[in-house]
Amino acid sequence: MKIAALDLGSNTFLCLIAEVSGTRVTHVYEDLVEVVRLGQGLGKGDNSSPKIFHQDALIRARACLQRFQKKVQEHKVQASLGMATAAAREVTNAQALLEIGKELGFPIEIIPGDREAEISFQGATSGLQNNQESLAVVDVGGGSTELIFGKGGQIRQEHSFPLGCVRLTEHYFSSQPPSQAQLQAVAADVDRQLAEVLRNWPSDQFPSQILAVAGTPTELARLEIGGVFSAEKIDQVVLSRETLKKWQDRFLQSRPGEIQTKWGVQSGRADVILVGTTILLQVLKALQLPALQVSSRGVRYGVALELARRLK
């Protein structure tokens, strides 16, 4: 069946228009990506006051979904489903996003962090030929990061952390490029939250490999292959600790505008890719692994499989 699966993240909106058969995505017609920054401003200040979607963010969300709507109508999909994540979980006016979706014909569900982790794992591992080994999937989003442990295609543990690249950038960086001390504060925050989860996890049960999904790892993979985004090529990229540290150092010495100019990173990602890279690097260190495998799949693939399952 032909379906449209939307991942409405805190930084990026994605729309996968694809053919799904059984438990596999068999053909991709469109894989649309737009930086929307739905989580604009949510990382600033403390957590004591209510948070709401910025009006500009909702305007951008509507414009993006209108463009997605045109593509979905062109392809005459049988059904569509959108899942909204960290930003939508936090705000008191999340209904505004749901109303936009309803108006444009997109059912939208706001999913909790543990459900996001499950959906991300299903999507990331859907392209594996052999997933019998123990592995972790790390999904670095704008508002949260999901870390999921699995083996044999089954989830053993999942954790959702408020460690999104937009959230931490807004919270810790007063200007860019940030100071070394500000970057160290980000790394310390990531380390602290990972340690709370991993302290009771025996090191001999740590995963033997990591799959990294979402915008930061795929953009880093694109930079490594030195070309235009290609899912086939991206899925073959391995990022070592040394490679991540190389890009971290480069981004730390550059303003967002320079990151766009030097390496072609789009404007909505250039200001948060340093933090995203730092999160990946700290996850590798915490799990005591030398490298991670990049996957172009993620939440939107999981949403596609979930929608197909519901339609059976």
Q: In this prediction, what percent of the chain has a pLDDT beyond 90?
A: 61
pLDDT of residue 61: 96
Q: What is the DSSP letter of 131?
A: -
Residues 86/139, Cβ–Cβ less than 8 Å: no
- Indicate if the pLDDT at residue 160 is higher than 90: no
The C-alpha angle 148, 68, 18, rounded to 5 degrees, equals 60
Q: Is position 234 within any domain?
A: yes
Question: Within this chain, do residues 10 and 89 fall inside the same structural domain, yes or no?
Answer: yes
Question: Within this chain, do residues 145 and 73 fall inside the same structural domain, yes or no?
Answer: no
Q: What's at 8, amino acid-wise?
A: L
The model's confidence at residue 47, banded by pLDDT at 50, 70 and 90, is low
Rounded to the nearest integer, the mean pLDDT of the chain is 90
Q: Which domain holds residue 164?
A: 128-294
State pLDDT tens for residues 95-129.
Answer: 999 999 999 999 999 998 888 888 988 888 887 76
Decide: helix, strand or coil at residue 137. strand
Q: Is position 119 within any domain?
A: no
* Of the candidates 257, 310, 242, the residue with the CA atom closest to the CA atom of residue 83: 310
The model's confidence at residue 23, banded by pLDDT at 50, 70 and 90, is confident
* Rounded Cα gap, residues 145 and 58, in angstroms: 22
Q: Nearest 5°: phi and psi at 225?
A: -85, -10
- Indicate if the pLDDT at residue 48 is higher than 70: no
Name 202's Cβ contacts closer than 8 Å, sequence gap at least 6.
none
pLDDT of residue 46: 61
Task: Provide mean pLDDT across the span 45-51.
Answer: 69
* Of the candidates 101, 65, 71, the residue with the CA atom closest to the CA atom of residue 3: 71
Kindly report the number of other CB atoms within 10 A of residue 49's CB atom: 7
Question: Within this chain, do residues 132 and 233 fall inside the same structural domain, yes or no?
Answer: yes
Decide: helix, strand or coil at residue 307. helix
The total domain count for the chain is 2
- Indicate if the pLDDT at residue 155 is higher than 70: yes
State pLDDT tens for residues 233-272.
Answer: 888 899 999 999 999 999 999 999 999 999 999 888 999 9
Question: Within this chain, do residues 210 and 70 fall inside the same structural domain, yes or no?
Answer: no
Q: Which pTM was predicted?
A: 0.86
